[in-house]
Amino acid sequence: MTDAAAAGPAAVRSERMTVNGISMHLRTAGDGPLVVLLHGWPETSYAWRRVVPELAAQYTTVAVDMRGCGDSDRPEGGYDKRTVAADVAALIDQLGLGQARVAGHDWGGAVGYYLTAAYPGLVSHFAAIETVLPGFGLADLADISLGQQHAWWMSLATMLDVPEWLLAGREREFLAYFYRQHAYSPGAIGPADLDEYARCYCAPGPCEPDSVTTGPWLTTSGISATCQFPAVPFCPSAAGSGSAAWSPRASARSRRIQRR
């Protein structure tokens, strides 16, 4: 399968690899040093469809459907950042192309952060895009008891069964609202793109249900207890979003991480 929207310098291939006990779907292109791209929520590797062929001119570029999302397997468990990062670590190791340059958007940034800290031998560079990382304000953004409404969906998703009760059969409408309200450029996500995301998020089984947990992965406790903070070149990016509060928070917290 080739993404029609990704026509450009290189065709994007749809591939699968078995890693860490699951079948992972990938969008790949190019040759050279390895670049791994981790999507945010509610997205899939499809979010990188225009980026992959551009990077493929110089790099082996792999956009990942993380566990529970897109066309990857949807097991009942394993959605904590430790396990999702272990999936990506196993992928990098099995590809056998040496250290990866990793970029993560939104929740992909949190996964990439844990990956970089826990598996420093597998990551040469790390870029976090439009995200607030664990231990640097993410928990505050998710806590509606503190009056924070910028990320209300995080608290919603932690409520057992409630999102399914409210959104079943209305996934496309929810996604359309979400992108319209929170995307930096809502017009960049057209009807065909919305159809693709809805196809994935309407599929049976988990779709990263615990990716927005209020548990330890919103803090540094799960990282600092087992590994060191990333010591690789780190590039934060906060381009903005539908909610103006995200960008300054992301930039300020990322500068704190760089000073570590």
Q: Which of 3, 21, 2, 5 is closest to 188 using CA atoms?
A: 5
Between residues 97 and 249, the one the model is more confident about: 97
The yes/no answer on whether domain 4-259 falls in CATH 3.40.50.1820 is yes
The per-residue pLDDT for range 84-94, each reduced to its tens digit, is 999 999 999 99
Residue 10 has pLDDT above 80, yes or no: no
Reported as type and span, the H/E element at residue 37 is strand 34-38
Give residue 227's pLDDT band: very low, low, confident or very high (50, 70, 90): low
Give residue 132's pLDDT band: very low, low, confident or very high (50, 70, 90): confident
Q: Between vectors from CA 213 to CA 24 and to CA 73, what angle results, nearest 5°? A: 15
Q: Which of 62, 82, 65 is closest to 74 using CA atoms?
A: 65
The per-residue pLDDT for range 150-169, each reduced to its tens digit, is 677 777 777 778 888 888 88
Please report the pLDDT score of residue 142 as a whole number.
58
Q: Between vectors from CA 85 to CA 121 and to CA 99, what angle results, nearest 5°? A: 30
The per-residue pLDDT for range 201-211, each reduced to its tens digit, is 988 776 543 33
Helix, strand, or coil here: 258?
helix
Region of poorest pLDDT, from 23-32, 143-152, 226-235: 226-235
Between residues 251 and 83, the one the model is more confident about: 83
Burial class (CB in 10 A: 0-12, 13-18, 19+), 8: middle
Domain coordinates in residue numbering, the chain: 4-259
Residue 34 has pLDDT above 90, yes or no: yes
Give residue 107's pLDDT band: very low, low, confident or very high (50, 70, 90): confident
Please report the pLDDT score of residue 7 as a whole number.
46
